[in-house]
């Protein structure tokens, strides 16, 4: 069989989100010929319906907070109001700029993008069904599945884009709901709760588990919980949501717990995301999909079919853009036969952009105790940090979990947990310490500039050596 020109590649990637485009960019920069099949826009959920627009709107909330608190600095200004249409337009501008940049980057690397829905066929082929009804068959030595995920919903809450919303719809609202219920107190739920509360909405969070931000360190969760309460966010944990009763005026009353209810203008359902494999695999490909719908891969991202790989939210690993990036690199290096270490999911960096921000890598105190590891814990609250005082943003702490050696001294740093101002930008050295398996003695030799927020990390490490300056 002859192959039409321009349809044969070293690598075909199905899905142009972070997992897919990272695989394509890294592969192309290593000299592979790469095609990406994308049914919507390259950039995927992260760029168009997730991380980037959400963080842009969270920045809008931060600007609002800053202006609201300006008088404390002697800056006289009127109480600010939000023109949400302008906020949305700015968000869209940022997204569009990054989208154009990504398209340019991909073109520059000679990556061919096919607009359409990709389906893996048996053998090393992908069928692309274009929006105009035509189909093209692509051949490749290696195929990477990177079709991502979509928001989960819950029974009884049919998403209508008006009253019942998922993150997809929230990010496109043209007005601020005066009140809203957020179902799910995970990363997405807490980010939206924080953003809407800062912009003036009355927010209620309904979380099924005993705590918001499950999986985060308890001290970090306590900081966020306190800050939420202070800003008037009502949090109910350990509650089941049983349904809702729509009101004639477009709002609804959400029923939860033991006969409790809350009347709101909108409901944000943020109960996780499910892998998107609908129509991804033709019959007989041999690619195994788990009961929960994830494509099954080994630690090198190999599916059950040789030459077919999977990365990003479609596999059962942390649903984070940067994890998708890392998995894409593992795939390309494996294809090239280069040495590569699988992604260590236990120590990936996490960054949650609610106010106060949360960032961490490695073991929490609770997880270390549950695993029976003998640990030393040291904390430094931002209240004692000069830069945080200058900013007027002192809620939060840096907490380090290190192993305790038999002689009582600290061994490796196992986990770094932060909540507070700009901690998503401060995690870097904590992440490095955890992944380098560094000890406090080693890290404490490095100087932190003064006055900075990052001193809190340095102070905590210093205290773990047994001799702190301001801490310990
Ligand atoms: P999540 O799994 O992090 O949180 C969902 C929360 O909803 C959990 O706390 C869960 O207990 C709760 N829940 C589930 N069903 C419920 C119900 N019926 N009633 C009440 N609560 C219920 O998922 P998410 O926040 O939707 O985020 C989706 C994915 O995207 C996650 O993997 C998340 O880590 C990732 N993400 C990360 C970030 C970030 O790190 N900044 C931001 C956005 C999304």
HEC profile of the chain: CCCCCCCEEEEEEECCCHHHHHHHHHHHHCCCCEEEEECCCCCHHHHHHCHHHHHHHHHHHHHHHHHHCHHHHCCCCCCCCCCHHHHHHHHHHHHHHHHHHHHHHHHHCCCEEEECEEEEECCCEEEEECCCCCEEEEEEEEEEECCCEEECCCCCCCCCCCCEECHHHHCCCCCCCCEEEEECCCHHHHHHHHHHHHCCCEEEEEECCCCCCCCCCHHHHHHHHHHHHHCCCEEEECCCEEEEEECCCCCEEEEECCCEEEEECEEEECCCEEECCCCCECCCCCCCECCCCCECCCCCCECCCCCEEECHHHCCCCCCHHHHHHHHHHHHHHHCCCCCCCCCHHHCCEEECCCCEEEEEECCHHHHHHCCCCEEEEEEEHHHCHHHHHHCCCCCEEEEEEEECCCCCEEEEEEEEEEECCHHHCHHHHHHHHHCCCCHHHHCCCCCCCCCCCHHHHHHHHHHCCCCCCCC
**164-271 topology per CATH:** FAD/NAD(P)-binding domain (3.50.50)
Domain ranges of the chain: 8-151+275-345, 164-271, 356-464
pLDDT digits (tens, 9 = 90+) for 8-31: 999 999 999 999 999 999 999 999
CA of 19 to the centre of ligand 1 (A): 19
**Nearest ligand 1 atom, CA 350:** 40
Each residue's pLDDT tens digit, 330-387: 999 999 999 999 999 999 999 999 999 999 999 999 999 999 999 999 999 999 999 9
Q: Band of the pLDDT at 2, cuts 50, 70, 90?
A: very low
Fold agreement (8-151+275-345, 164-271): yes
Atom 22 of ligand 1: nearest residue by CA position = 184
Residue bearing the CA closest to ligand 1, atom 43: 188
- Which protein residues are within 6 Å of ligand 1, measured from CB? 154, 183-189, 191, 206-209, 214, 241, 270-273, 319-320, 350-353
pLDDT value, residue 471 = 78
Examine the residue annotation and report whether 417 is marked as an active-site residue of this protein. no
From the CA of 69, how far away is ligand 1's center (Å)? 31
- pLDDT for residue 236 is more than 70: yes
Whole-structure pTM value: 0.96
Best residue among 18, 184, 189 to mutate for probing ligand 1, ranked by most atoms within 8 Å of CB: 184
| Ligand 1 mean position, distance from CA 192 (Å) | 11
Instruction: Report residue 295's pLDDT band, with 50, 70 and 90 as the boundaries.
Output: very high
Predicted confidence at residue 472, as pLDDT, reads: 74
Token pair in block for residue 411: 């061994």
Report how far ligand 1's centroid is from the alpha carbon of 271 (Å): 5
- pLDDT reported for residue 1: 44
Catalytic choice (99, 322, 417, 450): 450
* Atom 26 of ligand 1, residue of closest alpha carbon: 272
Provide the CATH number for the domain formed by 356-464 in this structure: 3.30.390.30
Q: Which of 191, 243, 272, 315 to probe ligand 1 with, by most ligand atoms within 8 A of CB?
A: 272
Query: Does 8-151+275-345 carry CATH code 3.60.20.30?
Result: no
Indicate which atom in ligand 1 lies nearest the CA of residue 212. 9
């Amino acid at each position: 069989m002859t192959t039409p020109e321009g349809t044969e590649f070293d690598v075909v990637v199905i899905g142009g989100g972070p997992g897919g485009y990272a695989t394509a960019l890294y592969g192309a920069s290593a000299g592979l010929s790469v095609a990406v099949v994308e049914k919507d826009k390259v950039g995927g959920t992260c760029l168009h319906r997730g991380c980037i627009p959400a963080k842009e709107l969270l920045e809008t909330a931060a600007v609002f907070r800053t202006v609201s608190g300006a008088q404390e600095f002697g800056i006289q200004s009127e109480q600010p109001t939000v023109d949400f249409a302008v906020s949305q337009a700015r968000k869209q501008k940022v997204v569009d700029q990054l989208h154009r940049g990504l398209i340019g980057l991909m073109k520059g690397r000679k990556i061919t993008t096919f607009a359409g829905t990709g389906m893996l066929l048996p053998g090393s082929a992908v069928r692309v069904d274009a929006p105009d009804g035509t189909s093209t068959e692509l051949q490749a030595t290696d195929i990477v599945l990177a079709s991502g995920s979509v928001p989960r919903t819950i029974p009884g809450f049919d998403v209508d884009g008006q009253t019942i919303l998922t993150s997809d719809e929230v990010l496109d609202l043209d007005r601020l709901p005066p009140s809203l219920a957020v179902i799910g107190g995970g990363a997405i739920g807490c980010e939206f709760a924080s953003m809407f509360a800062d912009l003036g909405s009355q927010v209620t969070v309904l979380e099924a588990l005993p705590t918001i931000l499950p999986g985060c360190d308890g001290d970090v969760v306590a900081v966020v919980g306190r800050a939420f309460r202070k800003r008037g966010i009502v949090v109910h944990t350990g509650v089941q949501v049983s349904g809702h009763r729509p009101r004639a005026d477009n709002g609804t009353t959400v029923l939860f717990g033991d006969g409790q209810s809350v009347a709101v203008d909108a409901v944000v359902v943020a109960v996780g995301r499910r892998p998107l494999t609908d129509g991804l695999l033709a019959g007989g490909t041999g690619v195994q999909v788990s009961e929960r719908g994830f494509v099954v891969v080994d630690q090198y991202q190999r599916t059950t079919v040789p030459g077919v790989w999977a990365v990003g939210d479609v596999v059962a690993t942390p649903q984070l853009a940067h994890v998708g990036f890392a998995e894409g690199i593992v795939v390309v290096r494996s294809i090239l036969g280069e040495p590569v270490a699988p992604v260590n999911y236990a120590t990936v960096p996490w960054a949650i952009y609610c106010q106060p921000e949360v960032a961490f890598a490695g073991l929490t105190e609770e997880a270390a105790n549950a695993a029976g590891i003998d640990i030393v814990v040291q904390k430094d609250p931002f209240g004692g940090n000069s830069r945080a005082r200058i900013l007027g943003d002192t809620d939060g702490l840096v907490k380090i979990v290190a192993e305790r050696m038999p002689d009582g001294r600290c061994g490796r740093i196992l986990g770094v947990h932060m909540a507070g101002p700009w901690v998503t930008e401060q995690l870097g050295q904590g992440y490095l310490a955890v992944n380098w398996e560094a000890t406090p003695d080693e890290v404490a030799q490095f100087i932190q500039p003064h006055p900075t927020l990052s001193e809190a990390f340095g102070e905590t490490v210093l205290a773990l050596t047994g001799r702190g300056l301001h801490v310990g």
